[in-house]
Amino acid sequence: METGVKPVQSGRGRRGRWPSEQKLAMLQEWRSGVPLEEVCRKYGVNAALLYRWKRSLDQGLKESGELIPKSQVATLQRRIDDLERVLGRKALEVEVLKKAFELKGLKLPEGTSGG
């Protein structure tokens, strides 16, 4: 008898919740070429459930094709926005310093571009 991974039971009722790591593992197994029916049988899940998970994670695909949960996408997007804002401030500081050097008639230090 093949032993499959079972969902974590949550409170009352028969419905279990699959941890994100297990969902991702099942979806990656399916994406790697294992037939859907085999993945469903192995883990004891309905094909419709895998399709639902896939659809909900489609928005969270990284360019490399690695699946990440949607909850992490929002966090990562905020981090990107913060870094872009900091980069913009630094670029503005550089432009101000270049202008100050130009007005004083000074040369830029070695290794910097003249603009």
Residue ranges covered by each domain of the chain: 17-68, 69-115
Hey, which bits of 1-115 come out as E strands?
8-9, 16-17
What does the pLDDT look like over 18-73, one tens digit per residue?
Answer: 888 888 889 999 989 999 999 999 999 999 999 988 887 776 554 445 666 777 88
Q: Which CATH architecture has domain 17-68?
A: Orthogonal Bundle (1.10)
Between the alpha carbon of residue 63 and those of residues 5, 19, 41, 58, 66, the distances in Å are 29, 23, 30, 11, 7
Is a pLDDT exceeding 50 seen at residue 3?
yes
Phi-psi region at 9: left, alpha or beta (left = phi > 0; alpha = psi -120 to 50): beta
Predicted confidence at residue 109, as pLDDT, reads 78
Residue 14 in this model has a pLDDT that exceeds 80: no
Token pair in block for residue 92: 């503005």
- Which residue in 60, 48, 51 sits closest to 27, CA to CA? 51
pTM: 0.44
- pLDDT interval class at 79 (50, 70, 90): very high
